[in-house]
Structure 1
């Protein structure tokens, strides 16, 4: 049923504890024999015992629920539904600092370090979130952040309509090892390869040069005129090229990138709103607050409060 093999086991008068032992022994024998004969790793989810065959549907759903814990238990295990921690408290833990180190490794095109940070990140997600559903939420958040980071770097490794399919692809996987391998091969390595090609070409594309300068010097008094002088181009020419290639003006991209940095600082640092506005070169905090509220619908202080509350 739906890619699962379903078996009903009957208890013919055994004491319940003995029947449970037999179930575990039988399940372990099945998975070990399949691995021995076919070289396949399987997991088996076992429902609670029921007194009527009419409860088979519920038993089937409990078995599926047990199998979601493969994300934490691994791909070669027997999982009893009644042993699960089904705490529904929605307190998803997410290791932001490790994610930042992963993103830095991607930016510097360090494959080895990126793979190590991805492993640490997923390991931390699994250890800090006891419920696999919380793990899935954290992994979805990571995938979303990777896609956003990709856009901020000015690179595209997928067609626009493929981005939504990525979530389906990653949640088709059943173990954290499979998810790690998929994220590394399908997203991180491709991002690094794309960035490496860009770096090797020494940012020949004018718009990429401007994007690179913005990302490195967003906290300085950047203007299109100053960049034009450095790149030896006419400012009007740069403006038209940037808008044509990026589908956004220079000032809009600079504001958008600074807004992204502001959100990170609000959630990951103790910098005050005034300090953030100064670092991001707003004339005064009120201009920063108005700009932030226009984009997010709430003030920077409220954004920090909500993010800290949900963390």
Structure 2
């Protein structure tokens, strides 16, 4: 049974099918998505993140999250949220680590941010998605798609379709990007229970781009470039440049040649980091899983 039936029917959707993330955990991956900063890359230094750049460009910025605001796995990410002009956490007790509510709790906030926009707006929506435990991530209406992991993906598909429809209803030029920070081991050494782990599959992530008809009319070359790049070997380091590109912005600290909307994007080696000192800095395209379900060099 299809797990992404709603978004796959959307006109104007571009689904890139060869994207990887350098980390198999959130606290490493999200800084790359927001700013290109890979803390384990030699010589890397933190730079300006997307929220602060959009602030400087005069956008009304929002951070809407169903993750905890504080905690050992969340405080680093929460620091990025503090840049936004509007901050909304939908987890219970103000975001302290606890049992999260379903991602749909965010939708009224998203709809309000979009529907009441009177100036350009930039929204970061941080879903729980299929994060373990997958069986806790969807309502009963999505419990019959397949495995709990399949069900959670179908629910995320429904969430994205709702956000896309809200943007379309508002009218005018708009764009939606979706990327996962990391994957999980679904079957590899897990007994069928999805969990964190540094196998190759955990670095393979979906990357969607949708643009409204008005945006496509204004940016026909970028839209065609996106379609031409669907099989290109990207990493999530392409996200900051791609988002800025879609907004018609640029920043000295961002290599705009990485944009997935570029006619000839730069495609660096895809270096990923395992969970031990022995398998950090691995070239993903020249790697395999060892007998103990860890990524390693060929």
Q: Settle same-fold status: TM greater than 0.5.
A: no
1 or 2 for the larger relative contact order (CA 8 Å, sep ≥6)?
Answer: 2
Higher radius of gyration, 1 or 2: 1
Length-normalised TM-score, structure 1: 0.23
Structure that is richer in strand per residue:
2
Structure that is richer in helix per residue:
1
Length-normalised TM-score, structure 2: 0.24
